[in-house]
Structures are given as structure tokens and as C-alpha cells.
Chains A and B, each alone.
Chain A
């Protein structure tokens, strides 16, 4: 057990060293969130009327969207890692094998934290406020938990695809609609029926609505009768826990299977 934790720590430190060597890799969690936040608030915001103001409404949604797209990085990073020779070295060492996956998920949780902080900082600069300190912290915690769950899902994509490019392609195809068909950027009330049903049950919507409540931001979804919109915090926790419970063991299984075929 202690050896397993140590192995995870070693892998985490290795991944952070990689980032330190090439800080530009972080552009998708530093520059991109700032850019997206400004673009969406000033472009979309000018055309989407939301009671309480678009900026106050949009920051939670933008955080959900940028975290979802940055989770793709887990699949890309893992896939690139598996293509390097050092993985065969790891597999001949008496280490806890899942440490490679767990270490990756934790280093990506740190970069996700940075991503959320960049959106929040941009939001604060343009007038968004996250309510009480306790509420602000709880809202961030829900986002980071969700981001951790998404990272395990993307890890599975990285292990299924044969190259970092395919992990990126698959990730975008799944996560971009997931982020858009939700209450993140636009209230769902006027969406066409079936799309609206998907949006109201989308985990991204639950997480976003939960954060809006916790941050005392405008949350038009509160008037929607779908169960997740009435209990967004609980729904967000259940979604995240469920995704981790499914995708973490699946990723471990996929990693084992991939290792056994010698690739």
C-alpha cells in the first residue's frame, strides 16, 4: 500500500517535471481559458439575455466547458506516454502498475485546478463574484471532482485509440457536444424538446447548475422540473462518482490488456 502511494508520487513528480520542461504545453489551461472567457462573455453575452446578467451566468458554464476540453489532454498525454520506450521499463519494474494511470490523473487534476483558477481570475476581473467563501470553495470542489472523473473517461479514450491524434479526435467528438448541449452557455428553456431533455440530464448541466447555486449566480435551470436540475449538487456528485467508478477500473483493464499485447 505504501509502495503504491510512493509509486504514484514518483509518477506525479515525473509528469510535473515534464510540464516544467515545456511550459507551453500548459497553454490549453492558461491562455485558452482566458481567451474563451473573454470571447464568450463579450460575443455571446451581447446576444443572450439572461436575468441577472450574462457575465454572472456564464463563468460557471465557461469553467465547465474549458475543464471538459482540457480533460482531453489526459487521453493525449497518456497515449503519447504509452508510445515511448520508458513504459516498457516501468513494466519490468516491481512497481504498482496502475500508478502510471493514477499519477497521470493527479497531475492533470493539478492542471485542471490551474485552468479553473484562470477562468475565475478572468471572471473576477470582468465583474463576476462567487458569493460566500464557503460557497465558492464548494463550487470549485464540485468542478474539480467532475474534471477528475472526465479525465478517467479521457484516459480510456487514450488507451483505446492507437495514437495521441486519435485520442484528441475522439475526445473532441465526445466532449465538445457534451459541453455545448447543456446549460453552460445558454439557458436550456428554449431548446427544442429532445435536445432540451439531453441538456437537462447532461452531467455538465448538473455541475454548472450546482456551482451557480453555490456561487449565488443566476441559475435559470432552477425552474426546470428534471430531477438533476432540482438537485444539481447531488446529481453532480452522483455523476462524478459514477464516472470514476466505471472509468477508473476500465482504464486499468484497458491498460493491462494493452500491456499484454506488447504495445
Chain B
């Protein structure tokens, strides 16, 4: 954070225990105004607990946090005036229509009824819910519900937004449209803290990423710097038939050792990204008389980041963790 920037979300040493489990074990955060922080980690890492503390739903056992300049413990009401929250589970009233939900949230946030109605109509349009606005939520799809939830959290145009796993459980098309909506929201200058277990999502949306595991931030930085920490691009080649000569043919093109799968048909190695790499690989193998089914060059992903930091993939971390969220 550059000197002089105003910090909209600040936390130091946040800790929270649930029984014997430490959900948060000392988390520091600092999100400057207008920035998007992606809080990335597997289930049970402590993401939701952090959001609950920052949105005044849960008291920390230790540490402090300020949101929009207000202490989350001592000035809860002032914090609630400055935030919009989309929690992991839908936080809308199933028995009301989309419009009734938005008007209700507006009124409970202090908008006069007429203004709350106008804002509801505007948001229904903006979130592609205009046609469904007067339908009861029981008939909404998962994606519509999430969009309404998001709309409900921006009714008062709050300067700070918290989105807790906003696309979990959505199909790929709904996820892409959610991402678009989120990008538009922050284009207005809001500060955003977004939690996700999708590495791609953090990469797509966040300026900075804090990787959280076991209640601690284990790495922080831009998506670029985090990727740079984890070795580079990977090459994967699939052969039509197992060929012992393939390793020799590839060796001049890769950096480091080549791993060969048990059936001898798949080869993997780290490479230095270079223009025309895939062409060169195919040519070298063709020259050695080896038939190639597939060549893939993978840029480093945040999954690799997670693996490099924890020695564990996000997927296996999920099964390892007790779920505290």
C-alpha cells in the first residue's frame, strides 16, 4: 500500500477460537481504498470467520480490526452503515419477491420508502432481474438468488463490500456473469474483500491475494508475485505409444527433470516459457520418429501457488481440515 492511501479494511492479530479449534490464529490485513483483496484458502481455513468478524457478526477473541475507519467491536453500528455483505448462504427472504427484499433492505438501512423503491427498481434492472422482480424467491434459480443477494448488499452504495464465496455452487456460465457483475461493482470505487476457494476466481478478480490456511495468512501479494514464487510454466506431452527415446528428445527443451507416467505415455517437466515452444516440442519428437497426441503448456496457476506454500493441494487440504466456517 502506497503511503498516503486510506486503509478501508485493517486488521491486526485477529484470533478466534471455537472450542478447541482455532478458526483464526492471528490474521493481519490491510486493504487500501478501492482495492480488491482476494482471501484465498480451502474450506475451514478461517475465511468466513474473518469475514464474520469484519462485518460485526462475531467478536474476535484477540486483535483488532477497523472497517472504513471504525472499530468493529466498539463501533459496530458505524461499521454496519459502511458495509455491504454477501454471505456464503443466501441471505434473502425466501417468502418475499425480489423487489420486496430489496425495498426491505433499503428501508432497514435508513432509506425513505420512496427512495428504497426507486433503488430496488434500478438494481433489479442492473442485475438482470427486472423480469423476475415481482416473483417470490422460491422460483428463483441459484444464480438469480446470488445476484439478488449481491444487489441487496449494494442497496446503499456502501464504500466497503464483503463477498464470502460469491460463486460457490454456481454453474460456469452463472459464475462468469457473477464475475462481470462484481467487476462492475468495484468500478464505482468500492473497496472489496472477496473470499474464495477457487484459485482462478482470485486470479480473475483480485488486485492482491492473501492465502489463508489454518487461520493464518501464509502468503500475500499480487497474483503475479505469488505465481512467480512457484517455479514457472509446465509442459505436458501425451504420446500415442510409450517411447523411451522421448525423454532424450525433450531434454534440450525443458528446465529440470522430466517426469514420466507409469504407462510411459505422459511426460511432464518445467519449462522456460518461450515463443514457439509447442512447435519446437512437436518438431523434436517428430524428428525422433515419435507420434504425439497432445502438447500442453500450462502457465503457473494459483493451485501451484497453494501447493508450493503448503506442500498440499487445496483439494486435499479440504479433506484434511475440520470444517470451521
Contacts and interface: CB of A to CB of B under 8 A. Distances in A.
Interface of A: 3, 6-7, 10, 14, 17-18, 21-22, 84-95, 99, 259-260, 262
B94 A10 contact: no
B25 interface: no
Contact of A95 (B90, B92, B109): B109
Contacts of B83: 92
5 contacts: A3-B110, A85-B90, A89-B152, A94-B80, A262-B58
B93 A84 contact: yes
Given A94-B80, A262-B52, A7 B108 contact: yes
Q: In which size bucket is the chain B interface? A: 20 to 34
The residue in B56, B59, B89, B110 that gathers the most chain A C-beta atoms within 10 A of its C-beta is B110
Interface string B52-79: 1001111100000000000000000100
Contacts of B56: 91-92
A85 B91 contact: yes
Nearest to B82: A94
Contacts of A92: 55-57, 80, 83, 85
Interface stretch (B99-107, B165-173, B245-253): B99-107
Contacts of B114: none
B130 interface: no
A166 B136 CA distance: 29
B87 interface: yes
Given A85-B91, A86-B93, A92-B56, A10 B81 contact: no
Contacts of A262: 52, 57-58
- In the complex, the 10 A-B pairs of residues with the closest C-beta atoms, listed nearest first: A89-B91, A95-B108, A94-B80, A92-B85, A85-B91, A94-B81, A86-B93, A85-B89, A93-B108, A10-B107
Nearest to B78: A94
A202 B233 CA distance: 80
A49 to B, nearest CB: 49
B95 interface: yes
Contacts of A6: 107
A71 B290 CA distance: 81
A148 B85 CA distance: 34
B95 A17 contact: yes
B96 interface: yes
Contacts of A260: 58-59
A65 B107 CA distance: 38
Given A21-B136, A260-B59, A262-B52, A89 B95 contact: no
Contact of B100 (A17, A85, A91, A95): A17
Contacts of B85: 88-89, 92
B104 A10 contact: yes
Nearest to A9: B107
Contacts of B104: 10, 14
Given A84-B94, A89-B105, 4 more contacts: A85-B89, A94-B77, A94-B81, A262-B52
B90 to A, nearest CB: 5
Contacts of A94: 77, 80-81, 108-110
Contacts of B94: 84, 86
A159 B64 CA distance: 30
Contacts of B52: 262
A85 B90 CA distance: 6
B65 to A, nearest CB: 15
Contacts of A87: 91
